[in-house]
Chains A and B, each alone.
Chain A
Amino acid sequence: MRHLLFAAAALAALASPASAETIAITGGKLVIGDGSAPIEGGTVVIRDGNVVAAGAGVAIPANARTIDASGKWVTPGVFAGFSRLGLSEVDAVNGTNDKSGGKSGFSAAIDVAPAIDPFRSPIAVNRSAGVTRAVVAPEAAGNIFAGQGAVMDLGSDSDAVTKARVFQFVELGENGAAAAGGSRSSSHLLFRAMLREAQDYATGRNAFDDELLRAEDAKALQAVLRGEQRLLVRVEAANDILRVLELKRDYPAIKMVLVGVSEGWRVADRIAAAGVPVIASALNDLPATFELLGATQSNIGRMKDAGVKVSIGMIDDRDSHQLRYTTQYAGNLVSLQKVPRATGLSWDEAFAAISSGPAEAIGMGDRIGSLKAGRVGDVVVWDGDPLELSSAPVAVFVDGVEQPLGNRQNRLRDRYRTPQEGSLPKAYEH
């Protein structure tokens, strides 16, 4: 049965890629996603897969299918700022888990794109929760460089990768130290040495020492060195953050984004001054490791107040299955506004932190994350405040195509709505 279900879903998706139509979603509480206040009774128009216009008083094209969203919220799809979506079906079942390729001996060259599988069930589950696009990062193993990450969409078609090799991911906190031989001294040394080798590789094959990194890894690092591919750097502790900002001074061409950054509030002014964007864990507040001693849920709010360009990601936190937590996490940051001495985000800031914020951090803000002309037609219509626990999407569009909202979990739910067996075993209810 399960195989049949998957096979049927796969066939449907491959056979009928619904063509993008002209759609006008009207009457809803419209959220642009750029941090501006929601617009009551706004309209968003999508044509050929892209947003044409969004706002109040937008003209509705004559040929548009009109969707009445009165009493509902209309937002950009949630953009998961950091994930391993599409890389795993069942985490503890090795054959289905493609998060790390570290045992291959490769590092920076690893590219998640061929491993991203749009038919894995977490795609449909998270799509039905309003997540339409995600940053997908490889997991480091055996090296500080984990490899190249992608941006994917959660559409129900067979082409999930929006853009491959968007960024390189490197671990320079505790994980990085462990991977580099046991200390931050060695991780920083390895970082510098690998980049130097990559430069040597670029200037001439003869000078290249392939004991430190393979040719493929050296090739992959070229785009990082030239600033054509962003470098996402995982750090948590205040000191690690400062030392990475120093590295940035030595490699001015590198476009860095900090990831994790649980103690960012302690050095927020320095991050802001460096102009480095941050994709942070929203709710870390425990000293899970010694690099998280200062972790607090007020971290993002404090960084924001200090002028850091900060958004939300799920970093090593249910990163392949539960991107649907993203809205809940953003809502929690809003809740902090009512807590004495805490620093949260306004609702508008919180939604931007899960839509345009991460898109801008990775350099794709002109294409995704907000409802502005020219952006991808990722739109979600919600039956209530999208950050509230009682709300859910009633319609999801990816690249302007309306998406099915069913998933494997719904099928189980429907089969067992009444748990007792009837005149035939449950296996015949499908």
Chain B
Amino acid sequence: MTGRFRWSILAAPLALIACSNTSEAPKSASADAPAEKPAKLNKDPYPSTYKPYPGVATAIRNVTIFDGEGGRIDNGVVFFAGDKIQSVGGPDTPIPADVAVFDGNGKFVTPGIIDIHSHLGDYPTPSVDAHDDGNEATSPTTPEVWAEHSVWPQDPGFSRALANGGITTLQILPGSANLMGGRSVVLKNVYARTVQGMKFPGAPYGLKMACGENPKRVYGARGRMPSTRMGNLAVNRQTWIKAQEYRKKRDSGKDYTRDIGMETLAGVLDGDITIQNHCYRADEMAIVLDMAKEFGYKVSTFHHAVESYKIADLLRENGVCSAVWADWWGFKMEAYDAIPENAGILQNAGACVIIHSDDENQIQRLNQEAAKALSDARRMGFQISDADAIRWLTYNPAKAMGIDKMTGSLKPGKMADLVLWNGNPLSVYSRPEKVWVDGALLFDAADAKRRPVSDFELGQPGEGDVK
């Protein structure tokens, strides 16, 4: 319900001054650096402290497996131990002695579900004004802000996403009020006292960008640039030019003043930071693709890409993913041409499809959203397997976020992030029965204690309820 209003902002006085520069170099890096050269940049000053929780070596046998990469194994075996997937295969797959064994008769296993577009933590519930931490809507370009510095680790939404949606990994993005909204953060869906304790180790950062109505409305209403779509592009291009100059300066070996916004943009130009671009209309996506070529960066994914179906060929050729809802439409002008067959047409054209939520409710049933999109695709005659639809929620988002070597599919050596469903996850009647993150059982529908309860909910009505 609140997803589409994420860009709405309070009419607050613009007292803040964006982009305060600091030339202070990180201590650890500067200690080893030669005196005449600038300090080596610490690219990870807020490092992940997440460690897998203890798990027991576990095998699930006699279960239907969707491996996340489009494969399906009936009557299969999944075995994981030491926080990694060990083996996945048919009924003859060996199961070592002395491991916990679950019979999965009538049940299904998928990789942990991944939501590439979430605001859990930076627009947490309760959705009170004091929690509006997703849009630094004081300047149209704020690449200097990092979503992780807004994330409230006690958002009750994380627990619902785990228990009802089987979400094990999610990307938290800044909102879309700004053309360049700031850095995203990728989290393991594991409660921690600090956001560092949730951060997905080794996940690249993303830069949230936004096309279209939101930036031009927010700033146009204040009588400043951008107030039009052409203004959007102009501000973006001017900013990329500055980023190119900054990068040149940075690489020149001479002294330079650090600028954390420019560091992010230079990181994009370096190829270290992925572009996660909110963009509804097909024509605007095509312009963004040219802008990316103009400045030498790559767009990983268009988010809310409701018109991707119109340019599915172009998106395939450019290797860009579309993160889409199954069927949202009509809530604003740029969502007017959204159709439920968007994902199906993209898949049929060979383009990359991701189903995303942007919503604290639908993140709890991304599997159902994929099922609807699959059904609509099949109704227009496209042959798409159940296993392919599961890929929209697992491997594809992992790849678009640059973490596909670590999670997103059930392959030996990958993180043991997986969901045991009590039926086909593409049915409305199925729910997660157990969810493991890095091999640790963090949700068990049968065990009232094996479900997280955030600080906020402690001592409140419904504490620990099934939700």
Measured CB to CB, the residues of A under 8 A from B are 88-93, 121-122, 125, 238, 263, 266, 283, 285-290, 292-298, 316-318, 320-322, 324, 328, 331-332, 334-336, 338-342, 387-392, 409, 412-413, 416-417, 419-420, 426
Contacts and interface: CB of A to CB of B under 8 A. Distances in A.
A276 B14 CA distance: 49
B339 interface: yes
Nearest to A289: B126
Contact of A419 (B213, B311, B371): B311
B11 interface: no
A121 B461 contact: no
16 contacts: A90-B331, A91-B330, A92-B333, A287-B125, A290-B128, A295-B462, A297-B466, A316-B1, A320-B330, A331-B428, A336-B431, A338-B423, A392-B379, A416-B345, A419-B310, A419-B349
Contacts, number: 162
A243 B465 CA distance: 25
Interface in B292-344: 309-313, 327-333, 335-341
Given A286-B125, A297-B467, A416 B309 contact: yes
B9 interface: no
B102 interface: no
A242 B220 CA distance: 46
B336 to A, nearest CB: 6
Contacts of A318: 1, 328, 331
B156 A286 contact: yes
Give me the 7 closest cross-chain CB pairs, A-B, nearest first: A331-B428, A294-B461, A92-B332, A294-B462, A389-B371, A342-B466, A285-B467
A409 B340 contact: yes
A332 B313 contact: no
A341 B450 CA distance: 13
A413 B467 contact: no
B375 interface: yes
A321 B310 CA distance: 22
A122 B422 CA distance: 35
Contacts of A342: 466
A413 to B, nearest CB: 5
**A92, A295, A298, A391: most-surrounded residue (chain B CB, <10 A):** A92
B333 A294 contact: no
B457 A419 contact: no
B380 A413 contact: yes
Contact of B360 (A91, A93, A286, A331): A286
Given A285-B467, A296-B467, A331-B429, A419 B368 contact: no
A338 B128 contact: no
Contact of A416 (B310, B338, B446, B461): B310
Contacts of A426: 310
B101 interface: no
Contact of A332 (B365, B422, B426): B365
Contact of B330 (A90, A328, A390): A90
A390 B375 contact: yes
Given A287-B125, A293-B460, A321-B330, A298 B466 contact: yes
Contacts of A316: 1
A288 to B, nearest CB: 5
Nearest to B466: A342
B188 interface: no
B331 A92 contact: yes
B462 A339 contact: no
Contacts of A391: 375
B345 A419 contact: yes
A387 B331 contact: no
Chain B CB within 10 Å, residue with most, of A286, A335, A338, A391: A286
B156 A287 contact: yes
Nearest to A314: B1
A283 B340 contact: no
Given A90-B336, A91-B332, A287-B126, A298 B465 contact: yes
A110 B339 CA distance: 33
A388 B428 contact: yes
Contacts of A91: 330-332
A205 B465 CA distance: 54
Given A322-B327, A336-B431, 9 more contacts: A90-B330, A287-B156, A287-B460, A334-B429, A389-B375, A413-B345, A413-B380, A419-B345, A419-B349
Given A92-B331, A316-B1, A285 B164 contact: yes
Contacts of B465: 294, 296, 298
B160 interface: yes
B457 A340 contact: no
Contacts of A298: 465-466
B461 A341 contact: no
A317 B1 contact: yes
B257 interface: no
A128 B428 CA distance: 20
Nearest to B379: A392
A350 B449 CA distance: 29
A341 B335 CA distance: 39
Contacts of A295: 462, 467
A332 B462 contact: no
A340 B428 CA distance: 17
Contacts of A328: 368, 372, 428
B138 interface: no
Contact of B333 (A93, A122, A125): A93
B160 A286 contact: yes
B22 interface: no
A338 B423 CA distance: 10
A346 to B, nearest CB: 12
A288 B2 contact: yes
B95 interface: no
Contacts of B365: 332
B322 to A, nearest CB: 12
B128 A321 contact: no
Contacts of B164: 285, 297
B75 interface: no
Contact of A285 (B126, B160, B345): B160
Interface in B410-467: 422-423, 426-431, 445-446, 448, 456-457, 460-462, 465-467
Given A92-B332, A238-B461, A286-B361, A339 B127 contact: no
A335 B330 contact: no
B126 to A, nearest CB: 5
A320 B332 CA distance: 12
B422 A338 contact: yes
B431 A338 contact: yes
A290 B156 CA distance: 13
B1 to A, nearest CB: 5
Contacts of A332: 365, 368, 428
A413 B371 contact: no
B413 to A, nearest CB: 33
Interface string B367-389: 01001101100111000000000
Nearest to A421: B313
Contacts of A286: 125, 156-157, 160, 360-361, 467
Q: Which one of A92, A238, A297, A416 has the highest number of Cβ atoms from chain B below 10 Å of its Cβ? A: A416
Nearest to B341: A413
Nearest to B373: A389
Contacts of B312: 416, 419
A336 B156 CA distance: 20
B428 A387 contact: yes
A293 B127 contact: no
Nearest to B311: A419
Contacts of B327: 322, 324
A318 B338 CA distance: 15
A296 B371 CA distance: 23
A417 B332 contact: no
Nearest to A238: B461
Contacts of A317: 1
Given A296-B465, A389-B372, A338 B330 contact: no
